Amino acid sequence: MQRPSPTSPLLSQPGAVPAEGRDEGVAAHYGDPFREQRALEGGSGLVDLSHRGVVTVTGDDRLTWLHLLLTQHVSELPPGRAADALILSANGHIEHALYLVDDGTTVWAHVEPGTREALLAYLESMRFFYRVEVADRTDEYAVVHLPAGSIAEVPDGAVVRETPHGRELFLPRADLEAYAASHGPLAGILAYEALRVEAHRPRLGFETDHRTIPHEIGLIGQAVHLQKGCYRGQETVARVHNLGKPPRRLVFLHLDGSEVHLPPHGAPVRLAADGPEGRQLGFVTTAVRHHELGPIALALVKRNVPVDAPLVVGTGTAAAQETVVEP
């Protein structure tokens, strides 16, 4: 059974409302999700991601070893450069997503809540004769997100991932509360997710299911390097890239703003012309309320769904689509 991450001390902050489901353990919001979104968009604020797993790999062979296992080219990864990577099944389906950085002696990675123990078991099974040590550091370190444009100071010695969307800090858990107090305002996971959906950024377990391949959600080039050596699932990646098209594609949806409730994960997507009783052509992966765009969502649909076709979600919520992954 997966051991849960420690509950964040920031849930004791004024106005904190606990998140549910896969994001349990941190705050959904601190009283005003839209204000929190605007703060992040403006380059201020801090998001508590301490429910995410933290895994490290040390040893002289850490980069060459990971290079053999991951979809990303990391054998010569310079210290301080962020990289996204996947672990695939033998059939090319996404099993794990790692967000990593090397500090010169250690590779640090944060992963989705609920996935770290399976990831650690797989990594341990692949060690063989390589000079590497794999460790679960979740009890010791917490992940914090600072948005793009933030001028918040980074503590001396903190490991940082610099990305186009902001900085991700690996902080000692003992320092989390003090750092948040001096680098707020705090923003909850709802605000973070709204901006993630707006940016069309897929998330493991939300935009993926047991048969998702990287091409379907736009991860070729971002988390999958096409010119690196062999890794598990590479045959599927190369075949689909060179000879075919993925069976599904990620789309961005503008939802009817008059609806009170957001469609849940898995809500069916159909052609508007066929109505809510028509044939299901996909499903909603993440739906959020955005402070400017209103209700929006990401969804996986069949590749042959016309890119300009009006859609309906769930029991009849109208949805206009924008292309994320080309058909």
Q: Which residues carry a binding-site annotation for substrate?
A: 168
Torsion 220-226-231-235 (CA) sign: positive
Q: Is there a contact between 116 and 96 (Cβ–Cβ < 8 Å)?
A: no
Q: Is 23 left (phi over 0), alpha (psi -120 to 50) or beta?
A: alpha
State how far the Cα of 165 lies from the Cα of 249, in Å rounded to an integer.
23
The CA distance from 182 to 239, in Å, is 50
Report the SS3 class of residue 272: helix
Contact between 272 and 246 under an 8 Å Cβ cutoff? The reply is no
Q: Which residues are annotated as a binding site?
A: 168
Rounded-to-integer distance, Cα 236 and Cα 184, Å: 44
Q: How far apart are CA 98 and CA 218, in angstroms?
A: 16
Give the DSSP H or E segment for 299: strand 294-302
Token pair for 166: 């902001």
* Geometric angle at alpha carbon 223, from 286 and 117, rounded to 5°: 70
Q: How many CA atoms lie within 13 A of 250 on its CB side?
A: 26
